[in-house]
Amino acid sequence: MNATKRWIGLVVFIAVCLGAGSLGAIATTPEIDGWYRTLAKPTWNPPASVFGPVWTTLYVLMALAAWLVWKPAGFQAAAIPLTLFGGQLVLNVAWSWIFFGMHQPGWAFVEIVILWLAIAATTWAFFRRSTLAGWLLVPYLAWVSFAAVLNFTIWRLNVA
């Protein structure tokens, strides 16, 4: 694979990951000052201003990780880890739509547990292809672990 194709691949992975973030933001952004503001939240809930920079950083790290797995031999050679990656990305977007779009924190918690499992499987598969790619997903797994606890807590605090 020539250098130009490799760099185009990186740009595509970044665009796909940031695009996924944008799809989630369509459901999330209008609800921050609306429905989400009305929910009871724990004292350790981060301020809204933290989420955008954290997620942008995580999406870029995810893109770099996927690119490192893809770069040596393309999609066909890395079909399993990249399919897992695509699946967890779909689940990532779905969580925003379930939690914020549908106002369903309970179902969002079920979904985020599935997302966490998908990220863990993807991380494991990435480590098998590239140690660096695996490590680049660890902050994402850690953040989603925190998000799952936050999601659960918000759900429990708001059960009627």
Nearest to 68 by CA among 148, 138, 136: 136
- What pLDDT, on a 0 to 100 scale, did the predictor assign at position 97? 98
- What pLDDT, on a 0 to 100 scale, did the predictor assign at position 160? 67
| Residues, the chain | 160
- How many C-beta neighbours within 10 Å does residue 11 have? 11
φ/ψ region of 104 (left if φ > 0, alpha if ψ in -120 to 50, else beta) reads beta
- What pLDDT, on a 0 to 100 scale, did the predictor assign at position 74? 87
In the CATH scheme, what architecture does the domain 3-157 have? Up-down Bundle (1.20)
pLDDT beneath 50, residues of the chain? none
109-114: long-range contacts, CB 8 A cutoff, minimum separation 24: 109/148, 109/151, 109/152, 109/155, 112/144, 112/147, 112/148, 112/151, 113/148
- What pLDDT, on a 0 to 100 scale, did the predictor assign at position 71? 95
* Domain layout of the chain by residue ranges: 3-157
- What pLDDT, on a 0 to 100 scale, did the predictor assign at position 14? 98
HEC secondary structure over the chain: CCHHHHHHHHHHHHHHHHHHHHHHHHHHHHHHCCHHHHCCCCCCCCCHHHHHHHHHHHHHHHHHHHHHHHCCCHHHHCHHHHHHHHHHHHHHHHHHHHHHHCCCHHHHHHHHHHHHHHHHHHHHHHHHHCHHHHHHHHHHHHHHHHHHHHHHHHHHHCCC
